């Protein structure tokens, strides 16, 4: 097999929408990696800013997938992952700049620790270098996911690897074997929590996640909240609970999850009524999807390979890390 036809070790999937100016930062950093055994696949969600022309002129090595309309992050990412040829498949947001050692660090971890199925990168604020944007995702018993270490200094406690619930989809990597068992992102999520849902399925199916501190990515991100975002966050967090929580954990933790949502809704009512309305709307509309969610749930739970106690301990570990964010 010639080098040109041999599959790359890693496929990097970059969904984008009107992000030409972001790709002008992201892609040069990707091609400065200290390894070259990878392919970049940019999935364009119907951009109108000349993204396709820019890619074809400036980055001819990039494999482009071009949609005529905006289909959402999950569908775009899935199209890229379905086209990927690598043994390892990475997701990367377009609003990032990656360290030259990013892919090498992730590949080395997966190559040497077979029980690790996926890895979380170290996200650092693009504008405030030295401040964390996230050291992997934790998942709490109230049914909410949080980015570990967000807003904290990149201190020594984040300089070593440790097991964590999941990886933020802004910069994550998965074994192909994992995705073949879990399936890809749930496109009904559109965006937000679709990576959390995948994290949960991976854990249920027996794949562990590890935070890799040497895999550094500078992330622009956005801290703003708007009604559409709040609607999706509320709805999709319920989707994750219904699909993925084992029955004993539903009985044990559901009161906590309901109480957390009542408190959040009340807090929003006091401070921002449009957000409160969107939060409540998302929560209640999620419940209208119960028939389809239950069909997905039956398939997921049937294929689970770990015990409810194992998942509950992941919740508790997440809470220990989140309340006192350092590996134990």
How many percent of the chain have pLDDT more than 70? Answer: 96
> Do 215 and 291 fall into the same domain?
no
Residue 5 has pLDDT above 80, yes or no: no
Domain count, the chain: 2
> Do 142 and 270 fall into the same domain?
no
Q: Quickly state the pLDDT bin for 324 (edges 50, 70, 90).
A: low
The answer to whether residue 280 sits within a structural domain is yes
> Could you tell me if 78 and 184 are in contact, meaning their C-beta atoms sit under 8 angstroms apart?
yes
DSSP 68: S
- The confidence score (pLDDT) of residue 224 equals 61
How many percent of the chain have pLDDT more than 90? Answer: 90
Mean residue pLDDT of the chain comes to: 95
> Do 240 and 300 fall into the same domain?
yes
Task: Tell which residue, 94, 90, 70, has the closest CA to residue 221.
Answer: 94
Q: Quickly state the pLDDT bin for 271 (edges 50, 70, 90).
A: confident
- The conformational region for residue 9 under phi > 0 = left, psi -120 to 50 = alpha, else beta, is alpha
List the domain range (segments joined by +) for residue 252.
227-305
> Do 211 and 68 fall into the same domain?
yes
> Do 89 and 177 fall into the same domain?
yes
pLDDT digits (tens, 9 = 90+) for 284-313: 999 999 999 999 999 999 999 999 999 999
> Do 153 and 34 fall into the same domain?
yes
> Do 100 and 52 fall into the same domain?
yes
Residue 18 has pLDDT above 80, yes or no: yes
> Do 69 and 117 fall into the same domain?
yes
Residue 3 has pLDDT above 90, yes or no: no
Q: What is the CATH number of the domain that holds 171?
A: 3.90.550.10
> Do 21 and 166 fall into the same domain?
yes
Q: Quickly state the pLDDT bin for 221 (edges 50, 70, 90).
A: confident
Task: Tell which residue, 327, 324, 313, has the closest CA to residue 213.
Answer: 327
The answer to whether residue 327 sits within a structural domain is no
Residue 132 has pLDDT above 50, yes or no: yes
Pairwise CA distance, residues 23 & 173, whole Å: 19
- The confidence score (pLDDT) of residue 109 equals 98
Q: What is the mean pLDDT of residues 210-238?
A: 92
Q: What is the mean pLDDT of residues 34-40?
A: 97
> Do 147 and 285 fall into the same domain?
no
- C-alpha distances (whole Å) from 99 to each of 33, 124, 185 are 7, 11, 26
- The confidence score (pLDDT) of residue 323 equals 82
Pairwise CA distance, residues 151 & 140, whole Å: 19
The answer to whether residue 258 sits within a structural domain is yes
> Do 203 and 62 fall into the same domain?
yes
Q: What is the mean pLDDT of residues 66-87?
A: 96
């Amino acid at each position: 097999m010639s080098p040109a036809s041999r599959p790359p070790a890693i496929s990097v999937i970059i969904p984008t929408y009107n992000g030409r100016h972001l790709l002008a930062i992201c892609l040069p950093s990707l091609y400065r990696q200290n390894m070259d055994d990878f392919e970049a696949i940019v999935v364009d969600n119907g951009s109108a800013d000349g993204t396709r022309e820019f890619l074809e002129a400036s980055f001819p090595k990039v494999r482009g997938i071009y949609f005529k309309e905006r289909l959402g992050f999950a569908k775009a990412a899935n199209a890229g992952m379905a086209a990927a040829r690598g043994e390892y498949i990475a997701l990367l947001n377009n609003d990032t700049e990656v360290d030259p050692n990013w892919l090498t660090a992730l590949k080395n971890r997966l190559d040497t620790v077979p029980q690790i199925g996926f890895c979380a990168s170290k996200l650092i604020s693009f504008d405030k270098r030295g401040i964390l944007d996230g050291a992997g995702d934790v998942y709490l018993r109230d049914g909410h996911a949080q980015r570990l270490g967000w807003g904290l200094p990149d201190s020594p406690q984040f300089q070593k690897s440790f097991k964590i619930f999941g990886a933020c989809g802004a910069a994550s990597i998965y074994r192909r074997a994992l995705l073949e068992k879990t399936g890809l992102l749930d496109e009904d999520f559109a965006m937000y929590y679709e990576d959390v849902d995948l994290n949960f399925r991976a854990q249920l199916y027996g794949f562990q996640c590890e935070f890799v501190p040497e895999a550094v990515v500078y992330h622009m991100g956005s801290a703003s909240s708007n009604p559409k975002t709040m609607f999706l966050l509320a709805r999709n967090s319920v989707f994750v609970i219904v699909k993925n929580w084992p029955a004993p954990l539903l009985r044990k933790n559901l009161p906590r999850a309901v109480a957390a949502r009542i408190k959040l809704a009340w807090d929003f009512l006091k401070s921002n009524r449009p957000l409160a309305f969107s939060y409540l709307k998302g929560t209640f509309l999620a419940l209208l999807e119960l028939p389809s969610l239950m069909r997905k749930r039956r398939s997921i739970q049937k294929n689970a390979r770990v015990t409810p106690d194992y998942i509950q301990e992941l919740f508790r570990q997440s809470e220990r890390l989140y309340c006192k964010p350092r590996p134990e």
